[in-house]
Structure 1
Amino acid sequence: MNRMRFAIFAMVCATPLLVQTSLAQESFQVELGKDGETIEDMRPVFLTFEARPLPAISPTEVARRYQRLFDASDEPEVRIDALNRLSNIQDVSGEDVGFSADQEARVYQQALESYESILTRGSYSGKLDELLYQMARAHALTGESEKSIDRLEQLVGLYPDSSLVPEAHFRIAESEFASGEYFQAEAAYLAAIEAAENPELTRKARYMLGWSQFKQGESAWSRAGKTFYTVLDSLLPDPQSVNALSDTEVDLIDDALRIVATMAARQGGTDTLVQWLGDGNERAWTYLAFDRLADYYAANGAFEQSVQTNRAFVDFSPEHAAKPLFMVQIADVWRMVGDAAKVRRAHADYVAMFATDTAFIQLPPEEQQRWRSVSRELADYYYHSGSGLKEQAGARAESAFATAAGYYRALGDRQDRPGEVLRLAGDAYLQAGDIQNALQSFQQAAYDTADYGEAADSGWAAITVLRQQWLEGEGAATDRLTGLTSEADRFAGKFPEDSRVSGLMADLAGKWLEAGDREQALKYAQTVLTNPRATPSTRYSAWVVTGRGRQQLGEFGLAERAWKHALDLTADPAVPDEIAGTDDTIRSQLATAIYRQGENAAAAGNAAAAVAHFRRVGPVVPGSDIAIKAQFDAGNTLLKAGEYALAIPELEAFRRDYPSNPLASEISEKLVHAYVSSDQPAAAAQELLDRAKNSPDPWPLKLRAAGLFHEAGSIPRRNQVYAAYLDTQPAATSAAEHIELQTLRHRLLITVEAPEPYRQALLSQEMDSRWHSDQTLAWAARQSLILGAKAAASFATIRLGQPLAESLSAKQVALEKARKYFLDAEALAGDAVLSESLYRRAELYRALATDLMNSTVPGELNELEAMQYQMLLEEEAFPFEEKAIRLHADNHRRITSSGYDAWIGKSLDVLATLNPGRYDRSVRWMSWANDEEGDDAG
């Protein structure tokens, strides 16, 4: 607690102070006592009066001569002078050269006798004031205090202008003080001060004046305080005066401060002291008063008041050079108490008070070092506290780490080699969740600190922080990765020999690839591959990134090379099991790179190269999906290139090797295409029929096969399929299907030996369908005419006999059947078949009329009846003949609208027979546009 006083009073002046000649005549000392148990018992410090220096002669020899002179002389004046000189020698030399204790009592008793003798005679060659002074001294030394004071008062009263008066007042005051007459002592000390011309005596008198006032109690303490302030002002007029203090002055200062502290403590403490000192005067010793009051409180167990006093000085003199010591003393007080928490708070206040650059620079070197030491203690404490709280309370732990980080960081700025504390700051910031400050601290430790052995580890910590940011995904991905990359480049540049560089670069390569920047990824992968310190594991990672990057850039040849290197590394004994276990994955990637080369070659039209690449895939990953796909694509590529002779066996081999693979289902169609394209339609048709066997809906395939048989001219095999399909009685659901079915029927009826079912089906389907085409209508109309002609032929075979009604009825039914077919043909094909239809219909009626006329007459009729019967037949036949003529005439009239054709010509021939007057002419009929030749109607 007294470190400030020890610092201030360490240097004292060892040379005795000189006094005036008048004081050299005597030298005596007064012990006024020490501290008592109460304020009333307190005493001022020991005071010593000093004489002038001795001459350059042995003090012992000089003293021996004066002793001999005192004993040998009978003259009072001589003896008194010898005694004075002897005393001066002893005082100045500091040696025990005077009389012994027993001799001294005898000597001064004899001296008193000499003084009395001189006074009785009334004559003295010296000065009487000096004689009175010496008599007072002699009475004091012989224990006659009252007589001593009487002589001093006599001196003061008789010789007020004597140079000895100030000291006489001082001795009187001391006597009053010793007797407890403090008020009278105060007056005497004031008189001494007023009379004294010697600064030393003045200071001592003022010092004792303060004690006199102090002893009078609290009512006089205000006066005592001012008096002691004056003493202190005289001893410490400026800060530099502390370097020229004697031991006595140090004691005086210490005692004055003790009394001031005592009075302040008893009268309000710190507030009183501030009030006394806050008079506007700047004093060099103010801080000592606060220090002594703080010590007073601490010594008496008032620790809170001691702390408040120290803090009060800091507030009272915020710019004072002693401020750091007061802040430290606060911690010392709490350390005395044993309150570690308050010690830390005091240290924290101390550190905070001088945390700014301006404040820190103003500290003396030893205090700067103390600041560093205290900061480190606080930092370490909070760091360990955070570590202990980490598993229990996250928020409290983070707060502790944040506090520790702040101390470490500030300390790092104030050390020549701050690497360690900056790294600790980074770690503490990190655990406090302050990523940016953690990063900055690690970076400073790594890159801005000279001769730090763990700089690389600090740099790596910064890398780790940025990696964590990347994983947590805070901020834009590209920005985070750019920051990590910049830090990694910085680390690699500063610590190129570090074994972690290759792994770092490999990691960066992977992240850039993931971010989509393949150029950056390949760049960092290359740095790994060219690093001689790269481990097999990091080279593996770099080759993987290279393979993926090249693959994404479409550089599959380079990708293949990278994957081959990576595959080789999976077999390296130095790689961990997780890498060794990736060989199948790498083979898959290698196969993909080869396969993509095949795809590119195929896209470029280089079928041979494509097939060669595709065939290389299988040996890399036999039986894999990509190997199967490559084999399939080999055949497909040949197919697309028109190499059908090569494609067909390739495709057949694929189907044979992988019958269960989904791609095998495409082979059949590709083979069909190959067969068709290579002019093998029958083989294509057979492929379709084979496929149809396992198809849930075989007919589309069979019909396609039939079409190919048709194309190949294999009509029987075609018809076999057509017939089987039509046997299933398919129903058209669209116009296209209707036309397709009608086409099948038409092809059958014109190629099979028994076409009648297909003819009738074609006609009925067309009649019933809502969909038609010109072709199907024409086909149906033709079949209707053919069927009508067949029906007409059947009609002609029916002979009219008896009974006529029965045979005529059958004849009429047959006529109506044929007529219906002709009308259906007209309905289907219109003008295209109308001429023929009209002709055939007319002929039906003409044939019926003829058959009626030629029918037999019943045999039981007589001639007249037979004639009448014949007339009736003619009457019945006439309408039919007329109808035939009318239909033929209608056909004739079509010449003007449709032109001449063979069927119209036949109608004209019939008309010429039936109505020769009108139609039997030698006329050549011509169409409007061109001659009708070669008409085979008839």
Structure 2
Amino acid sequence: MSTLISLNTRLDWRDLAKVYRLIFLTVLLIIITACANIKRIVPINELKPVDVDPRVKFIDTNNIVEVETSAIESIEPEVVIESYQRLLTRGNPEIRKEALHRLADLTMRLAEAKMGREEEGEQTNLTPAVANASFSKAISLYEELVKEFPEYSSIDEVKYQLARAYSLNSEPESSLQILDQIAVTHVESLSYLESQFRRGEAYFVRKDYRVAEQAYGDVVEKGVNTEYYDKALYKRGWSFFKQSLFTEAQKDFFTLYERLLHQQKVGNSQNKLLNDLVNDTRRVISLSFYNQDGAASIREYFKVNGAQTFEDQIYDALANLYIEQERFQDAADTYLGFIKQHPVSLSAPEFHTKVIDIYKKGGFPSLILPAKESFVVTYGRNSAFWNKYKGKVIEDLKVLLRVHLDDISKFYHANAQKTKKSTDYLVAAKWYREILLTFSDPQIDSQYRFALAEALFDGGQLEQAAKEFETVGYVNVKSQYSRDAGYRALLAYQAIKYPKTATQLEKLLPSIQSGTKFSESFPKDPKAAEILARVAEQQLMISDVQGAINSSNKLLLLPAKLTRKQRERAYIIIANGLFDLKQYAKAEVAISELLTKVKLTKQQQLNFRNRRVEAIYQLADSARKEKRTNEAIELFLKVKRLEPNLKVAINAHFDAATLLLQIEKWSEAASLLESFRRGYPKHPLSQSIPEKLALVYEKQKNWNKAASEYTRLAAGQKDPELAREGFWRVADLYLKAGNKTKAIEAFKNYVWKYPSPYLLAQEGRYHLVGLYESSGDKQKRDFWRQKIVEFYAKDKKQNNTRTAFLAAESKYHLSENLFIQYQRIKLKLPLAPNLKKKRAAMKKALAAYNAIAKYEVAKFTTASTHKVARIYQILSDDLMASQKPKGLNEDELEEYGYLLEDQALPFEDKAINYYEVNAQRTTNNIYDESVKASIDALRKLKPVQYDKRERLEAFNAVTF
């Protein structure tokens, strides 16, 4: 304490109070620091008011009083001095007074110029006037003026210049004496304020702060709005400060500080003196609080005196002061004190960051992390500060937030990597999420989201980790982390342990989707092929066949080199998949490519060849169903062409033929059907070929081949009725073909094998009649005519007009032989036996023709009636033309003629009678050849009755 008192012998009770207070605060600070669990370096020399000086000087920075210049500025100084010296000798007091004043001022100016040159190191090339000038000469002149003319109107200015000359001549005491005189005797002088300011400066230098305070105070009181006001405030504040009168000092300094800030705002912010004054004023304010209760004193000051916009500057200045003194905890507390009072101030984030820097600089590592966490909480996205501001403020804040969040998250991540605890990894993840929620920059997002995903992965949150990895990998694809993130996402999905109840789809789908994204995003990556190949297999496992096909196609298109196994497996998956999905057109192409590019076992080759033609077959079948017949045929034939020995080719062969039948391409159809039967004679489908070929041959009118096929068809027919119909068809086709031999054979086979149905059998016999007729085999012809007649007689109940007609015709034609035989018997001598013979033949013929009537067939009834008439007429004619016995004379011959005529006439009458029976049938609209022939015969036999025109017209008018 004695040391402190010795620093200023003029201490009064106020000084002692300040000293005691300073000692108390120092001791209290030491106690607090000792109690705190923080290392603090206490400087050897504490900052005390007596040890601190102002950093801004005002004296002699410029000429305070300008000396009136000569009217003749171009005259050399030496000439002017000589002129003034001559004026001094004239004896006129007024002239001498002015000459002394001007000579003294000129000498002063020249001495100052000389001093300036010397300070700049330019002591050569001085003019004689400058070289001879000195402050001592100026002092002599000024003193002479004061002594001779004490009542001089400008004596205050002269004394001021004299004081200034003493000061520049390093005679401060003499200078101060003059200034004291001015202060006492020249209060109203224009230089009074300047003189008082200089007095204050002089006493301040002498550490007589009380007198200096009064001098400065006089300037402050009287010099408002002068250039000395701010300077006097500044120095009076310092004078108070030096006396430890901090409250008084703060009043001056804060008044000045506000004025200076305003000047900076409205004036030239580049003014060095102004800026220096602002800085030092702020410094001394902080020094005053430093020597009180530090930040607590600041808080109390503004509480009492009202808030100011520059409060943050004062806290910052005090904190920097503490930092200079290495009182790091006090510096941190100062910043934190401001933050507590003004949490949403624009300076708060900066101060908080400075706190963190202080902890770093002061060696307090345990406090750094909590401070950073507090920073994030106080200014982060959920804080009042964040909600209050926007734009550049927030953008600038983000820079700090990123630094702190980066440190926090890395610390916890590093700690988790040491402990290997899942919970520690999740703590790190929490901070990484905070970063991501705060920043939107893609690069920042990728960097920290990747770290977040890693922390989640190591923390056991595999599904979340995978999703975050995917965001990095596939949203910010240009990020340096993208590839690794995509791969890590896949690993995360694969590492997930699913519950036993999970389906295969639930287990594999995430890995499939992730693997697909990786291969699409990084196709050149060495892992892309392996991953995509695995994806395809997994898609098969969940029955996503189309997905497996797509993946395999992508695999084959990858720029990365594939292994042979990968490539071949891809071809197989594509080929099988397309077939299984019934995409047969694509399957055919894929299988064809597979067969040329993949080395397969014999069994595999067979399987795929089967699948290929099956695919083509299915395409053909679809085309058939959609009525694209030509396309279907071509596809069926393609199957046959590609794989003629495979089972499906057999069906394709047959189907192609069937379709050709449908579109009536008979030749092509026949060719295919015939080749099918040759190639597969025992195949079940061959059984239907005869029917198809029969149809083809019929359409081609190749009746012989058609009959041949129907023969096969009928022979193989299990249904007797269908077999019967087939055999009839065979006979009919041979008949159409004109193949008499085969037709006869077929009809004979039919009628002998199938006498029933009777009607058709009769037709068959009738065909045989015609065939033998055309072949000239009359015997067999008549044989079958006889069979017709016989079967007609047997099956009376089944007969109809057709069978009656056939029987009547057959009977009629069979009777023709009897007629011919009868007609051929001539009545020659001896007449009696020949007549008997003829009558016997006549009887048979008549019986035959008369039997025809029972069939009730008009054509053959009229024909047989006509034949009966002819038989009678022939006998009559033959009798009349019979051979006459030899040796008869003319009368005998005449008599013999009458006798024959008597014999012949009844027969003629019968003939006429039968002719007339036929002729009468015209009344029933029957007029056929036999009726006509009968009428013609009547014209000859009964010309009077029948050979009349109108009768003929009547006959001719009959229509049939």
Q: TM-score if structure 2 supplies the norm length?
A: 0.47
Q: TM-score if structure 1 supplies the norm length?
A: 0.48
